[in-house]
Amino acid sequence: MTFVAVFCLGLLLVQIPAVLILLSRLLKGPFRRPPLLPIKATGDLLGKVSIIVPTLNEVERIAPCLALLSQQSYEVREILVVDSHSTDGTREKVKNRAAIDPRFRLKTDDPLPSNWVGRPWALHNGFLMSSAQSEWILGIDADTQPQPGLVASLVKTATEEGYDLLSLSPQFILKYPGEWWLQPALLMTLLYRFDSAGVKDHSPERVMANGQCFLVRRSVLQALGGYECAAQSFCDDVTLARYAARLGYKVGFLDGAKVLRVRMYEGLQETWKEWGRSLDLKDASSVTQLWGDLYLLIFTQGLPLILSLALGWYWLRGDHFPTLTIALGLNLFLVLIRVGLLFAIAPSYAQDKTKQVSSLFFWLSPVADPLAVLRIILSALQRPTAWRGRVYS
What would the pLDDT profile of 98-153 be if each residue is shown by its tens digit? Answer: 999 999 999 999 999 999 999 999 999 999 999 999 999 999 999 999 999 999 99
CA triplet 235, 239, 245: central angle to 5 degrees? 150
- Which residues, at least 6 apart from 343, have a Cβ–Cβ distance to it below 8 Å? none
Q: 254 — phi, psi (to 5°)?
A: -120, 165
Task: Supply the pLDDT for residue 301.
Answer: 98
Nearest CA to 207 out of 263, 162, 176, 246 is that of: 246
In tens, the pLDDT along 330-355 reads: 999 999 999 999 999 999 999 876 66
Q: 1-387 belongs to which homologous superfamily?
A: Spore Coat Polysaccharide Biosynthesis Protein SpsA; Chain A (3.90.550.10)
Distance from the first to the final alpha carbon of the chain:
53
Q: Is 261 helix (H, G, I), strand (E, B) or coil?
A: strand
Residues of the chain with pLDDT below 50 are none
pLDDT score at 3: 85
Angle between helices 304-316 and 3-26 (to 10 degrees): 140
Torsion sign across C-alpha atoms 130, 134, 137, 141 = negative
* pTM of this structure: 0.94
CA distance 121 to 3: 55
SS3 (DSSP) at 2: coil
Strands 213-217 and 165-169: antiparallel
Q: Which contiguous run of DSSP H or E holds residue 65?
A: helix 62-70
- Rounded Cα gap, residues 380 and 280, in angstroms: 6
**What is the distance between the alpha carbons of residues 298 and 374, in angstroms, rounded to a whole number?**
8
Determine the pLDDT at residue 208.
95
CB 146 within 8 A of CB 68: yes
Length reported for the chain:
393
Q: Given this model, what pLDDT does residue 1 score?
A: 58
One DSSP character per residue, 136-183 reads: EEEEE-TTEEE-TTHHHHHHHHHHHHT-SEEEEE-EE---SHHHHHHH
Q: How far apart are CA 293 and CA 205, in angstroms?
A: 12
For CA atoms 344, 349, 351, 355, the dihedral sign is negative
Instruction: Give how far Cα 119 sits from Cα of 77, 137, 140, Å.
Output: 22, 15, 11
Which pLDDT belongs to residue 390? Answer: 78
Give the DSSP letter of residue 252: E
Q: Facing residues of 83 across strands?
A: 55, 108
**CB neighbour burial string for 249-262, b if at least 16 within 10 angstroms, e if fewer:** bbbbbbbbbbbbbb
Question: Maximum distance among all alpha carbons in the chain?
Answer: 78
Burial (CB < 10 A; 0-12, 13-18, 19+), residue 102, is: exposed
Query: Where are any strands of DSSP class E within the chain?
Result: 49-55, 76-83, 104-108, 136-140, 144-146, 165-169, 171-172, 213-217, 251-255, 260-262, 386-387, 390-391
DSSP-assigned beta bridge partners for residue 172: 262, 349
Q: Where are the domains of the chain?
A: 1-387
